Amino acid sequence: MPETSGSTGRTPETHVIDFRAAEHLLNSRDPRGAVKLLDPVIAAHPENTAARLLRARAFFAAAQLRPAELEFTIVLEREPDNAFAHFALARTYERQGRPDQAKRHFRLAAALDPNPQYVRAAHFDD
C-alpha cells in the first residue's frame, strides 16, 4: 500500500503532480485554480518553500494581496537571500499602497541580484 499524507489519501507523487499542474494553471492565467491545487500540498508539506512561493505568486495574480504577503514573508524567513521573493513582496506592498516597505524590498532584491528589472524598481538614484 502506498504511503499517504494525512487522511486525504494523497501520495507524495500526487503532490508533485499537483505542484506541476498548479504551475501550468498559473502560467495559463488561472491563479485560483493553482491555489486550490497547492493548498493540500502545503498542508502536507508546510516546509516546502517552492510550493509556498508558487502559492504566493498565485495569490498575487489573483489580487489576494494579504495572503500573498504572508506567503512571500514565510519564504523570506526561510530564504532571506531570495531576490525574487523580495521583488515580489515589494510588488505586493506597492499594490497595497505601502511604498516605504516596497522600496526596502525592491532595494534588497537589487542588492541580491543585479537583474535589470530589480535595479530599475529599486530607484537607487532617488
Domain map (residue ranges) of the chain: 1-63, 80-126
Q: Is 9 exposed, middle or buried (0-12, 13-18, 19+ CB in 10 A)?
A: exposed
Q: Work out the average pLDDT over 95-114.
A: 98
pLDDT in tens, 43-95: 999 999 999 999 999 999 999 999 999 999 999 999 999 999 999 999 999 99
- What contacts 56, CB < 8 A, 6 or more positions away? 67, 68, 71, 72, 75, 85, 88
**pLDDT score for 63:** 98
**pLDDT score for 54:** 98
pLDDT in tens, 30-41: 999 999 999 999
